[in-house]
């Protein structure tokens, strides 16, 4: 079944198609189906920034900006340690990586892009 999306501007569901466009009679906004799909894809992207505000992506290399004590262990990872090939995940700890063969989850506020 073909559903008509609600208006992206005013969020009202009283919209109708007009050729290639959708029109909202409540606010007068017009948009295309491609614009809706592009906006949905952009919302699905995970945006993670490092301590300096640089955008991070999967596969980036980062450097720790301070010493981090691993919870539940007596191990400390020193500041300046370079972490290669990170993977971004959603949640409290945004970076999934391996340091010295150990799988770790890091917060992006403790790293900078290398």
Fold for domain 48-113?
A: SH3 type barrels. (2.30.30)
Q: Is the pLDDT of residue 1 over 60?
A: no
pTM of the entire structure? 0.61
Fold for domain 1-45?
A: N-terminal domain of TfIIb (2.20.25)
Q: List the Cα angle 19/23/27 in 5-degree steps.
A: 165
Split at pLDDT 50, 70, 90, the class of 63 is very high
pLDDT digits (tens, 9 = 90+) for 16-41: 998 889 999 988 889 887 776 666 66
Q: Is the pLDDT of residue 59 over 60?
A: yes
Split at pLDDT 50, 70, 90, the class of 49 is very high
Domain with CATH 2.20.25.10 in the chain: 1-45
Instruction: Give me the residues paired with residue 49 across strands.
Output: 55
Q: Residue 58 and residue 101: Cα distance in Å, rounded?
A: 19
What number of helices (H) and strands (E) belong to the chain? 1, 13
Task: Please name the residues in contact with 104: beta carbons below 8 A apart, sequence gap of 6 or more.
Answer: 70, 77, 96, 97, 98
In the prediction, which pLDDT does 10 show? 84
Domain with CATH 2.30.30.40 in the chain: 48-113
């Amino acid at each position: 079944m073909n559903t008509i999306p609600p208006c992206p501007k005013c969020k009202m569901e009283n919209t109708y198609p007009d050729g290639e466009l959708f029109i909202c009679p409540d606010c007068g906004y017009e948009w295309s189906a491609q614009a809706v799909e592009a906006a949905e894809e952009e919302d699905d992207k995970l945006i993670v920034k490092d301590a300096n505000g640089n955008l991070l992506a999967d596969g980036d290399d980062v450097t720790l900006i301070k010493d981090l004590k691993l919870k539940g262990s007596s191990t400390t990872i020193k500041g300046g340690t370079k972490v290669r090939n990170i993977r971004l995940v959603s949640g409290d700890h945004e970076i999934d990586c391996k340091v010295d063969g150990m799988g770790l989850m890091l917060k992006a506020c403790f790293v900078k892009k290398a």
